[in-house]
Amino acid sequence: MDWNKLLYQYFGYEKLNNDQEEILKSISNHQHHLILLPTGGGKSICFQLPVLAVNGKAVVISPLIALMEDQVATLKSKGIKATCIHSLMHPEEKRYILKNLHHFQFIYCSPEFALSPFGYQMLSKMPLTHFVIDEAHCISDWGFEFRADYLKLSLLINQFPNAQVLALTATANVFVQQDIINILKINMCIIDKSKKKPNVFLSTIEVDNINEKIQLLKEILKLSGPSIVYFSSKRICNEVAELLKENMNVATYHADMHYEERMKVQTQFLQDSIQIICATSAFGMGVDKKNIRTIIHFHVSKSPSQFIQEIGRAGRDGKQSQSIVLFEKQDYFTNLNLIEMSPKVEDLHLYNRGLLVDEEKREQIEKMLSMYTFENLHKRFESNHIKQIQHLDLMWRYLQSNHCLTHFLTQHLLNMSQNNQDDSSCKSMCNHCKSQNFLTFQTNYQKIQKIDKEKLINQLFNNH
């Protein structure tokens, strides 16, 4: 198979990178694959080309609406028949798509739709050649927390014995990799091309309190270039954004905002009419903005995989960029409280006695019990809670390290041995080795004309 010829035919690019070539060569043997490739490394091409090569049909399980819409818009612009199904679509559009589902080569949907009775029935009729799981780390990270349908994907995979399963993510340590394989209940060939991006400067800065953190944030953002500031709290995200708006070009992005509002913010950020996004983890997946210069964590990421995903959004153009974590001691306990909010052993016992009040947790546990016995689920909750604490402790060790952050990230967060690293030297790419807390970049602000919301959505997603 001449993959480069196919690449040029459909996408207009002349040559795959070395990692993509190796991955596609391996996929050609028709085994199921778990593929790890850094953010910006071209993961989508690695499942789209195999489908196009055989004029096949794929369902693509995706965690976020914005991610689905972005990839579908890209495929449509290349003349490829693609669609997505999600809860925020206009009913008339959804009816049209479901009626004509057999016409599409790529069908993007959430695990919740795919495993719903209606979605399961619809997709099971499709003559799939490929079953794709994008951002596959969500299977392990979210399956036993708040998106239990990820645990049931094996039921749908079993409906397509001849379809090749391709699971892709930017990062998954050896434990997450094994968890993904165990939950999907299939044998998979693992190709791990994850690595620390050499153009991202790493920095961790401890502060005494939130006021000092806000003042430092303001100082950094004066010359940070296009930037994303991540928060674990929507309330604090809104409050800090309002403070920044007094002197800066800032917008917010989180799940409580209306869909059209979020898409407007995303589009303006892509067009450089907004320079700074204050966001929760809901923002970033599938946002193909190559000139993001700065990623700041106002709150500590809950896990190494989330952290690697988020900082990987900086410097996709290969130019100098930076990751800065601002932290105070209280942040550890904030994350600990978030861990306690996810379903745990105590909730399982309350459910068993008919005393669990939280309706969302009750629904998630019911889905889990359709796949696991009470005893097995009890063990999984225990092990998942331990894993969450271990991930938090590992992130905290990264923050408190007095040594090279690049070495810590590659050896501990990415689980790479020194022998597997491309270059074991930091080359002054962290604030411990360079004795400089942050870099400065010029703004790329571009003023654009206002357009109405309907026109904006139609332009972005090429709607019917």
pLDDT at 314: 92
- On whether the CB atoms of residues 166 and 130 are closer than 8 A, the answer is yes
Fold of 196-452: Rossmann fold (3.40.50)
**Which of 85-89, 115-119, 131-135 bottoms out in mean pLDDT, i.e. has the lowest?**
85-89
* Direct distance between the N- and C-terminal alpha carbons of the chain, in angstroms, rounded to an integer: 34
Over residues 383-399, mean pLDDT: 90
pTM comes to 0.82
> Where in the chain is CATH 3.40.50.300?
3-192, 196-452
**Which of 73-77, 287-291, 420-424 bottoms out in mean pLDDT, i.e. has the lowest?**
420-424
Question: What is the band of 223 on the pLDDT scale with cuts at 50, 70, 90?
Answer: very high
For residue 462, which phi and psi values (nearest 5 degrees)?
A: 55, 50
Residues 6 or more apart whose Cβ sits within 8 Å of residue 437: 203, 205, 324, 431
Q: Tell me 150's DSSP state.
A: G
Q: Which structure tokens are listed for 278?
A: 């204050």
CA distance 99 to 90: 14
CA distance 280 to 254: 6
Q: Is the pLDDT of residue 425 over 70?
A: no
Shortest CA distance to 395 belongs to which of 457, 454, 338, 453?
Answer: 338
pLDDT at 185: 94
How far CA 126 is from CA of 62, 78, 377, in Å, comes to 18, 23, 32
Average pLDDT, the chain: 87
DSSP-based three-state secondary structure for 61: strand
pLDDT at 289: 87
How far CA 8 is from CA of 3, 11, 14, 75, in Å, comes to 9, 5, 5, 14
- On whether the CB atoms of residues 173 and 306 are closer than 8 A, the answer is no
**Which of 102-111, 331-340, 403-412, 443-452 bottoms out in mean pLDDT, i.e. has the lowest?**
443-452
153-190: pLDDT as tens digits: 999 999 999 999 999 998 888 888 999 999 999 999 99
Q: Is the pLDDT of residue 426 over 80?
A: no
Question: What is the band of 327 on the pLDDT scale with cuts at 50, 70, 90?
Answer: very high
Q: Is the pLDDT of residue 413 over 90?
A: no
**Domain 3-192, CATH 3.40.50.300 — does that match?**
yes
Q: How far is CA 390 from the centre of its chain?
A: 21
